[in-house]
Structure 1
């Protein structure tokens, strides 16, 4: 174990189902989940517990239910880390993981976060849309993907949305264009292409259609200051004040994310321990290659280590 270590907590976005990970929750965590489920039922009339454990229909799209599942359970994981004595020095939220980070940082309440996610899911419906999607391209750089977009005149339909690492790029836009980029990427040697389970082209200019409805919603929400600073995935600035957080929430829908630079800058600042706040390792999978001098920790490995942390600045040796 390393004394006086500093930690960056990473919060995942959406796109994963947690049903296959529920066995990782202990009894205390399940009781906390039941408490959150009561709030979810009251605020959204969504039976989260029934959806997760009994596959009950909720009246909402299953994709949205998965959003709420991740948002809720990742907060439980965060509380578990705190109880273990593992505490953050900085937060980094991947896409809608920003909302989870803000709730964990006490800038938003759990109930406010629920309505924030619902507003994000619904705001694109306020504008005319063509079919949109997102896709991951593995084995190519931003430059490689930009060349494909330019060569086939797809700039009006597709944009680079996220640089996960140097060789893992997410594109976003109209389906017809995204599918063409995927096909051309495979032809030109991409290791893997995969459509992302998203109904909208987030992190692109296409997501700006109807966004004024979300922006108006955010403006009315009483956002507080965050007790843990958050690094912006867009310009790598450190934010914690209410007005900056509100701006970040809106920017988070349409802005191009640079996850690579964010991880790199945190590591260069002297914080070299990254902890994923989730039941899986969705972020660690592509983050660990960005800076090999840093240590990347997952929930499962922390549990397997058999260590119980008693001080704020003690790292688990993995």
Structure 2
């Protein structure tokens, strides 16, 4: 019997026009309307903005959350049932919603606050490295204050985060096939986000996390759990902690997962996962037409 995991992408997967076939879909209308009341702006309008408004953190995170949540709802309605769930950074919020840890509105209000805090962050930078020597990278990070491994995506792709001087120092001393500074407002998933994380914790503490209907692997701890209090504690640590995606992928394989469905725009996560676990079957659901079991798919 096939064992399936759902994974939800985060910032970096957004694209102009994403979710377009959902905008006029009756079953999605209530979510878009509810989101507009909470956000004060229209998700479809932002996603269709030709000036790439959707790539500004303030808008990216809520838009991804809303569209991925709608797709997850439609997956449930078609009788799809995963054994495990996880999400990359922002995607973890969608996993929590999809697993019934909190309702749509609660999750969106949390994401809205998170996006505001992260958009306002101005200290530090992030950079992606591809094709590098991991031992050399880890040695440089350990020897350089104010820089951390922010995203450990797979053996050949990571993101570092920290002060500009620290990140520049690591880039100068680690040989890599490619190094790219990311267009983000601050040093996400690093101690430089501590002030924002403290503010966000206040919002989180007011929310009750229910037990997940499906075990979730968190970014800061890749072991699957369902207990709401544990998932909440892990989410509190997420803004300053590393996204341990390589370990998450290995855990999925260890738990017998042989099929992974990436639910959301693009194919970023399936590309990353393929490098770590090439034998796992990978699928994408980024539109209405790609939902298994739908008559119009």
TM range (shorter): 0.7 to 0.9
Equivalent residue of 2:239, what SS? helix
Partner of residue 308, structure 1: 293
5+ long unaligned stretches in structure 1: 311-318
Residues 173 and 31 (structure 1 numbering): CA distance in 2 closer, same or farther, change over 3 Å?
A: farther
Say whether the 8 Å CA contact 1:163–1:259 is kept in structure 2: yes
Q: State TM-score, norm by structure 1.
A: 0.82
Q: Distance in 1 between matches of 2:186 and 2:7?
A: 23
Question: Any residues of structure 2 matched to 1:121-136 within 5 Å, and which?
Answer: 121-123=115-117, 131-136=123-128
Distance in 1, Cα, partners of 2:153 & 2:13? 16
Counterpart of 2:167 in structure 1 is: 178
How well do the aligned residues superpose, as a CA RMSD in angstroms? 3.0
Taking structure 2 as the reference length, the TM-score comes to: 0.87
**8 Å Cα contact 2:154/2:275 also seen in 1:** yes
Larger-gyration structure (1/2) = 1
The number of aligned residues is: 295
Distance, in Å, in 2 between the alignment partners of 1:202 and 1:183 is 21
Query: 1:76 aligns to what?
Result: 70
Deviations 1:272-314 (A, max 9, x none): 211101131110111111112211112269957x96389xxxx
**Secondary structure of the structure 1 residue equivalent to 2:275:** coil
Distance of 1:197 and 1:141 partners within structure 2:
24
Q: More deviation in 66-75 or 14-23?
A: 14-23
CA distance in 2, matches of 1:38, 1:237: 36
CA deviation vs aligned residue, 1:72-131 (integer Å, no higher than 9, x gap): 1112222333344332110011112111111111111111112211222334689xx763
**Is the CA contact 2:3–2:82 (under 8 Å) kept in the aligned structure 1?**
yes
In the alignment, structure 2 segments of 5+ residues that lack a partner are: none
Contact 2:61 2:115 in 1 (8 A): no
Q: CA deviation at 1:234?
A: 2.6
Q: Which residue of 2 aligns with 1:12?
A: 9
The answer to whether the Cα contact below 8 Å between 2:92 and 2:219 also exists between their aligned partners in 1 is no
Counterpart contact for 1:234–1:257, Cα < 8 Å? yes
In 2, the alpha carbon distance for the partners of 1:301 and 1:46 equals: 22
Distance 2:51 2:274 in 1: 37
Does residue 26 of structure 2 align to residue 34 of structure 1?
A: no
Which one is further off, 224-233 or 173-182? 173-182
Q: How does 1:150-161 map to 2 (within 5 A)?
A: 155-161=144-150
Match of 2:137 among 145, 152, 172: 145
> Given that residues 141 and 166 in structure 1 are in contact (C-alpha distance below 8 angstroms), is that contact kept between their aligned partners in structure 2?
no
Q: Does 1:230 align with 2:216?
A: yes
**2:100 maps to which residue?**
106
